[in-house]
Amino acid sequence: MVDDGVIDHGVAESGEVLRAIAAAGVRLVFAGNTEPGDDRRARLRTAGLADLFAVVLQSGQLGVAKPGLIFYRLVVAAAGCPPDRVLCVGRDMARDVVGPLVHGMRPVLLRPDGLGPGELLPYGTGLIRCVGELPAFLG
């Protein structure tokens, strides 16, 4: 599962890394909290990344959002594999780390500047500073 944080973090680098991951046979799912009527597929097309994602899940269209249980169940269903094989990548501690951990997924926090003051990285969570570090968590 990938959210806006990965796309926003340097489109050129993100695109190159995501293309390599998809070429390796990994099923990519975009999953983000959006406002009703907001469609991130346009941003993905503009960035040249739309073709990489097997499924695009947007809370504004689904009526459920992260960190809700149903949203994560939809992510797992879209991924087509058991939760412990789903790698969730995003910038938000509650939505992209704690929520996925609670639901048995493997989170990776994307933070160019590392953790904020007082933040602790939960056990089992990866921390990357750039999208280029993501492939290390796939093997």
Cα 75–chain centre separation: 10
Does the pLDDT at position 1 exceed 70? Answer: no
- Label residues 52-63 b or e (16+ Cβ within 10 Å = b): bbebbbbbeeee
User: How high is the pLDDT of residue 68?
Assistant: 93
CB 28 within 8 A of CB 21: yes
Could you tell me the residue ranges of all domains in the chain?
A: 4-137
Query: Using one digit for the tens of pLDDT, what is the confidence trace for 56-89?
Result: 999 999 999 999 999 999 999 999 999 999 999 9
User: How high is the pLDDT of residue 85?
Assistant: 96
Does the pLDDT at position 93 exceed 60? Answer: yes
Cα 80–chain centre separation: 15
User: How high is the pLDDT of residue 10?
Assistant: 60
User: How high is the pLDDT of residue 13?
Assistant: 76
Q: CATH top-level class for 4-137?
A: alpha beta
Query: Using one digit for the tens of pLDDT, what is the confidence trace for 4-47?
Result: 656 565 667 788 999 999 999 999 999 999 999 899 999 889 88
User: How high is the pLDDT of residue 139?
Assistant: 72
Query: Using one digit for the tens of pLDDT, what is the confidence trace for 99-114?
Result: 999 999 999 999 999 9
